[in-house]
Structure 1
Amino acid sequence: MKPGKDLNEIVPRDVSELIELVQEQWQGNRLPIQLFLLMCLNLAIAPAVYATTGDEITRQAAYAIGLLGIVTLGLSVYLFVVIFQPERF
């Protein structure tokens, strides 16, 4: 945050400004934003895993299984793209 900037100048006022701010940050900081979105997706998947298994596993294990599933799916998609479009890599 630059000195002299008011908080009202930094915080977006509507959704379009928020989207523009995220796009600006996406260009320079891809990895942290991707990790954040991955964790948000895990917040949707882990309760489903926990509900499916009941009390057989702990809540931490459900979050770990959800994260492992997301990482496995991501690697599968990456390898699929690498196999069918090797000239890009």
Structure 2
Amino acid sequence: MKRFNARGAAVASQTTKDVLDGSLARQVFSEAERATKGWIVRSDGDYLCPKDGDVGFTADLAEAGAFDTEEEAREAGRDHCDPGYVVMRDPR
């Protein structure tokens, strides 16, 4: 069965298989992965490294600590970094 938009043009429909095999599935799974990794803070080439209730710095991304929420990361950046720090999703 063909579907049409408001202008009368045919609209391609996606089957469940198309959604699961295609880019939509990759996008959904990618967003879910990013949501579980947390947030990191970078300042002047170093990363914040929260550990045991304290916050230090490390030059190695592998040692950078992740914050659970973006707001926690921003708060730590305000408290421990000079202006210009960057909060980003953890890419690891």
Bigger relative contact order, structure 1 or 2, given CA contacts below 8 A and separation 6+?
2
Give TM-score scaled by structure 1 length. 0.26
Greater helix content: 1
Give TM-score scaled by structure 2 length. 0.26
Greater C-alpha radius of gyration? 2
